[in-house]
Amino acid sequence: MSKEQWRRNVTQLKPYIPGKAIEDVKRDFGLAEITRLASNENPLGPSPKAVSAMLRALLDSQLYPESTCRELREKLASLYEMDQDQFLIGNGADNVISLIGTAYINDGDEIIYCTPTFPAYRTITLLLGGMPIELPLTGNLTFDLDRILDSITDRTKLIFICNPNNPTGTIVEKGRLEAFLQQVPPQVIVVLDEAYVEFIELEGYLTGVDFVKKGYPVIFVRTFSKLYGLAGTRVGYCGASHELLEPILAVREPFAVNRIAAAGATAALDDEEYKITILQENKREMVRLAKELQELGYALSDSHANFLFVDMKEDVVNLSNTLMREGILIRPCIAWGLPNHARITIGTAEQNDRLLTALRKTIKTTS
Ligand SMILES: *Cc1c(COP(=O)(O)O)cnc(C)c1O
């Protein structure tokens, strides 16, 4: 067996390295409890309404799911005042990003985005024989929209904008996105990855929903993994005009989303109160954690998500190994070429305290 048998483009890909699994850390270090602040999961878990809906759905497991997640699309349509045929549901946002790539990228097409960002855009581009055009973020770590505009050529097919950006948590300044969209040539499709968009609190900040309604050639991608606490069940979606969704529908597996996941996501949308609680808790703990980390001497950028991007001023692979022995997981940013940066998910008050205590201990032992 040699790599020559592989599909040629696959030899260029590196497998995604997820945060270390809680089960593995428990076993490797003999720990009973793990605080995972490495994967931007919701520390309070899913809404109880989502859980009961999933339990009910289990009883119908012998039945194939309704292929298009009609009920979920109806709920999304009413929530965002769009049409249900302007939504496509997939097995997580990651799956949706792959589907968008599969539907649109031809050999040699140029796909533009800034880095560091979410790695899925690069993976799907390379797989399909496209050419990733990777530009640096601006000095304040946001997508460099001017430079993206300058990089558009006749071969440009897609532009990915991760907003808020993972791993930096930053957003494009208010008003800038629409000015940008007005300058993008009409044959270029802009994909807004809005996995964390619900955490943005700026009054009047326009998102993919607004841009689709205004008729821009935009596809926005969202997920139930972050705000809604359903990362383990895998539901993501995209919204766009029906014309833009048509080729994506053609490549989507018929039963991409399982019955249990679809039921959970649908019920999660109904629990407005729970959503508000999550947002309030996240905000409160983010402000507190950011302040305490700054007091410990770390440098942070402004986050509009459920995580912080922190310059720890030391090698984070080392530091995260030290923390791991205490049962605390943070995400080193070395895979993005940033050895001193960490991405730290906002946990519960108790989890954040545990992190702060462990960090104070490492500072004491090194000084
Ligand atoms: C987490 C994340 C996703 C993937 O979400 P899933 O629905 O869990 O696949 C996509 N984009 C960004 C920017 C993310 O952080």
pLDDT tens-digit series, residues 266-296? 999 999 999 999 999 999 999 999 999 999 9
What was the pLDDT predicted at 366?
Answer: 67
> Would you write out the chain's pLDDT as a tens digit for each of its 367 residues?
688 888 888 988 887 777 778 888 888 888 888 999 999 999 999 999 999 999 999 999 999 999 999 999 999 999 999 999 999 999 999 999 999 999 999 999 999 999 999 999 999 999 999 999 999 999 989 999 999 999 999 999 999 999 999 999 999 999 999 999 999 999 999 999 999 999 999 999 999 999 999 999 999 999 999 999 999 999 999 999 999 999 999 999 999 999 999 999 999 999 999 999 999 999 999 999 999 999 999 999 999 999 999 999 999 999 999 999 999 999 999 999 999 999 999 999 999 999 999 999 998 776 6
119 CA distance to ligand 1 middle (Å): 10
Q: Is 225 in the pocket of ligand 1 (CB under 6 A)?
A: yes
Which residue spans within 172-265 are E strands per DSSP? Answer: 189-193, 218-223, 236-239
Cα(169) to centroid(ligand 1), Å: 13
CA-closest candidate to residue 17, choices 236, 265, 320, 252: 320
User: For residue 221, how far is its CA from the centre of ligand 1 (angstroms)?
Assistant: 9
- Strand 110-115 vs strand 131-136: parallel, antiparallel, or unpaired? parallel
Q: Give the pLDDT score at 5.
A: 87
Tens digit of pLDDT for each residue in 151-198? 999 999 999 999 999 999 999 999 999 999 999 999 999 999 999 999
State which ligand 1 atom lies nearest to the alpha carbon of 231. Answer: 8
Q: Is 228 in the pocket of ligand 1 (CB under 6 A)?
A: no
Question: Side chain identity at 188, as an amino acid letter?
Answer: V
Does residue 110 line the site of ligand 1, with CB under 6 A? no
Ligand 1 centroid to residue 83 C-alpha, Å: 24
Tell me the C-alpha distance between 319 and 334, whole Å. 12
Q: Which two tokens stand for residue 179?
A: 């000015």
| Any atom of ligand 1 within 6 Å of the Cβ of 119 | no
Cα separation of 237 and 221, whole Å? 6
Q: What residues pair up with 133 in beta bridges, in sequence order? A: 112
Q: Which atom of ligand 1 is nearest to the CA of 94?
A: 9
Give the pLDDT of residue 75: 98
**Encoded tokens for 306:** 């459920």
> Helices 22-29 and 316-325 sit at what angle, rounded to 10 degrees?
70
Complete edge-to-edge strand list for the sheet that includes strand 299-300 = 35-37, 328-333, 338-345, 307-311, 299-300
What per-residue confidence (pLDDT) applies to 367? 61
- Ligand 1 centroid from CA 96, angstroms: 10
Residue 170 contacts by C-beta under 8 Å, 6 or more apart in sequence?
137, 140, 141, 142, 164, 301, 302, 303, 304, 309
Q: What percent of the chain has pLDDT above 70?
A: 99
Q: pTM here?
A: 0.96
Q: Give the chain's domains with CATH numbers.
A: 3-32+273-366 (3.90.1150.10), 48-270 (3.40.640.10)
Is there an atom of ligand 1 within 6 Å of 265 CB?
no
Please tell me whether residue 77 adopts helix, strand or coil conformation: helix
Determine whether the shortest distance from the Cβ of 38 to ligand 1 is under 6 A: no
Query: What is residue 8's DSSP assignment?
Result: G
CA dihedral 278, 279, 280, 282 (to 10 degrees): 80
CA torsion angle 95 196 272 174 (round to 10): -130
Regarding the beta carbon of 118 and ligand 1, being less than 6 Å apart is answered: yes
Ligand 1 and 278: CB distance under 6 A: no
CB-based contact 212:241 (threshold 8 Å): yes
Residues 325-347: pLDDT tens digits?
999 999 999 999 999 999 999 99
